[in-house]
Structure 1
Amino acid sequence: MNGKPKIVLLHGAFADGSSWSAVIEGLQARGYEVTAPQFSLTSLADDVARLRQVLEWQEGPTLVVGHSYGGQIMTALGDNATNVVGLVYVAAFGLDEGESLAALGGDAPPTAALAHLLVDGRGFGRLPEDDFVGHFAADVDPVRARVMHAAQQPVSMAVFGDVMGTPSWRSLPSWYLVAADDEAIAPEVERMFADRMGAETVEVASGHVAMVSHPGAVVDLIEAAANATAGAPVEAAPA
């Protein structure tokens, strides 16, 4: 044990754990033990169960970091987040009780990244390459963005209708990275999330996948959260 919290990184929809590669490298170089699990994106309940499984593997205090829909997963931990000492949102959803992703935008048109979402007969959505490269990963090198598109995980559209219970950020300290040039989640919505959860907030001139285009800023925010929560008492994870 080196006194540092464990770090668990949650990918969002249309992505996978490899989207955190540069952040993992940066955190490991600073002495952190990192886990970046894959999520099925088949239902919010399945994804929360997967996160709880991963948290059981961690020994000691743990920071959970979520990007985009990954924020929805960690928010849904509620007030039962064993061994979690803090939450870091990276251009991520941070809903409050009674809210759903579908209702969040009201009657507003979809953001540019989601304007041409492709939904198959089984109810799973994915992004066409042009929108992925041009909007979802707008400030990523196009060659890298096309690789990310090829590896994207489709998401069950059912997750957009799930209503949030008690959000975990009500009982845990939170940090938020606002991606000021985001074309998937409107930056003003990200600022609203950060403000109402009372998160320590940084704003970066980044597109949606800030952990790919600005990994240093993401690593710095995670380390700030780690330093702020050092020594925080936690309930032991179940055996």
Structure 2
Amino acid sequence: MKILFAALAIASALFGNAYAQTNKPTVVLVHGAFADSSSWNGVVKILEKDGYPVVAVANPLRGVKSDAGYVADILGSIKSPVVLVGHSYGGSVISDAAEGHANVKTLVYVAAFAPDAGETAVQLAGKFPGSTLGPTLAPPVTLSSGGKDLYIQQEKFHDQFAADVPEAEARLTAAGQRPIAEAALNEIQTEAAWKKLPTWFIYGDGDKNIPAEALAFMAARAHSRDTVVIKGASHVVMVSHPESVARLIEKAATEASR
């Protein structure tokens, strides 16, 4: 009988632990321009260690509406509640993709755009002084299919995009950077999911792509539940400060679980 009770206790503990883990919302991470899904690696390690299911989406970077449609398809395949996270241009994408998906419970903007309908990323980046991205861009690559792709000049990538990341690591990222279609940054936003969902913001005050003043403006406008500003952090705050980003996402996840 003692063995039976012991077995039942173990089974109960295992079931309870499995339930606790599966009961956590899925975190969907959407990268921005000049980056890829590996930019979330540090954050993913922490979230998975803490028991969160994670999906780091390969954002196509072709256009807000089309990219949002791709992310929306992924959201539709997830049955659990979702914490939807966007970095940089990825913020524009999640602001659209969340529309019509009841499983998306909260939004987290990581050094990200949170455009209102009718706005563009370029307009928001230029709304306040401080962005130095323009002069660091390489000559656009003209595509045979139409349009142009944008890259950051490799020799300027570290200082512009990832100044608080080790230089050797930034060089690797610069070489493998994902281009964004020029049209995507000028595409007019049609949806603003942050008006309906709880939002959270984190960014660095050393961001040279999106001025800190612009990020503060968007966070205030979205009535951010918690806005974390990392002193001196660059545009890739999730790379240089993964712990801070993961902890904020987990706060948002707590909200999503209620």
* Cα deviation digits, residues 169-196 of structure 1 (max 9, x gap): 0111000002111111100000000000
One-letter identity of the residue aligned with 2:53: E
Q: TM-score, length-normalised on structure 1?
A: 0.91
Q: TM-score, length-normalised on structure 2?
A: 0.85
1:95 matched to 2:115: yes
Q: Which of 102-111 and 56-65 deviates more?
A: 102-111
Give 1:198's match in structure 2, choosing from 220, 223, 232: 223
Between 1 and 2, higher relative CO (CA 8 Å, sep ≥ 6) is seen in 1
> How far apart in 1 are the matches of 2:134 and 2:67?
21
Question: Which residue of structure 2 aligns with residue 27 of structure 1?
Answer: 47
- Note if contact 1:44-1:73 (Cα within 8 Å) is conserved in structure 2: yes
SS in 1 for 2:150: strand
Deviation at 1:222, TM superposition (A): 0.4
Question: Which residue of structure 1 aligns with residue 203 of structure 2?
Answer: 178
- Note if contact 1:72-1:95 (Cα within 8 Å) is conserved in structure 2: yes
- Note if contact 1:85-1:172 (Cα within 8 Å) is conserved in structure 2: yes
One-letter identity of the residue aligned with 1:5: P
- Note if contact 1:79-1:171 (Cα within 8 Å) is conserved in structure 2: no
1:207 matched to 2:234: yes
One-letter identity of the residue aligned with 2:247: D
One-letter identity of the residue aligned with 1:120: V
Deviation at 1:229, TM superposition (A): 2.1
Deviation at 1:37, TM superposition (A): 1.4
Q: Which has the higher helix share?
A: 2
1:112 matched to 2:137: no
SS in 2 for 1:76: helix
Q: Which runs of 5+ in 1 are unaligned?
A: 232-239
SS in 2 for 1:40: coil
1:79 matched to 2:99: yes
Question: Which residue of structure 1 aligns with residue 11 of structure 2?
Answer: none
Deviation at 1:19, TM superposition (A): 0.4
SS in 2 for 1:66: strand
Q: How does 1:46-195 map to 2 (within 5 A)?
A: 46-77=66-97, 79-106=99-126, 111-118=131-138, 119-122=140-143, 123-195=148-220
- Note if contact 2:161-2:209 (Cα within 8 Å) is conserved in structure 1: yes
Say if 1:18 and 1:107 are closer, same or farther in 2 by CA, change over 3 A. closer
> How far apart in 2 are the matches of 1:189 and 1:131?
22
Deviation at 1:152, TM superposition (A): 0.8
Greater Rg by CA: 2
Deviation at 1:105, TM superposition (A): 4.4
- Note if contact 1:78-1:165 (Cα within 8 Å) is conserved in structure 2: no
Say if 1:82 and 1:107 are closer, same or farther in 2 by CA, change over 3 A. closer
SS in 2 for 1:85: strand
Across the aligned residues of Structure 1 and Structure 2, the Cα RMSD in angstroms comes to: 1.6
Say if 1:124 and 1:196 are closer, same or farther in 2 by CA, change over 3 A. same
One-letter identity of the residue aligned with 1:182: D
SS in 2 for 1:53: helix
Deviation at 1:106, TM superposition (A): 4.8
* Cα deviation digits, residues 32-85 of structure 1 (max 9, x gap): 000001121122222111101111221210000100011010012363233100
Identity %: 35
- Note if contact 1:114-1:131 (Cα within 8 Å) is conserved in structure 2: no
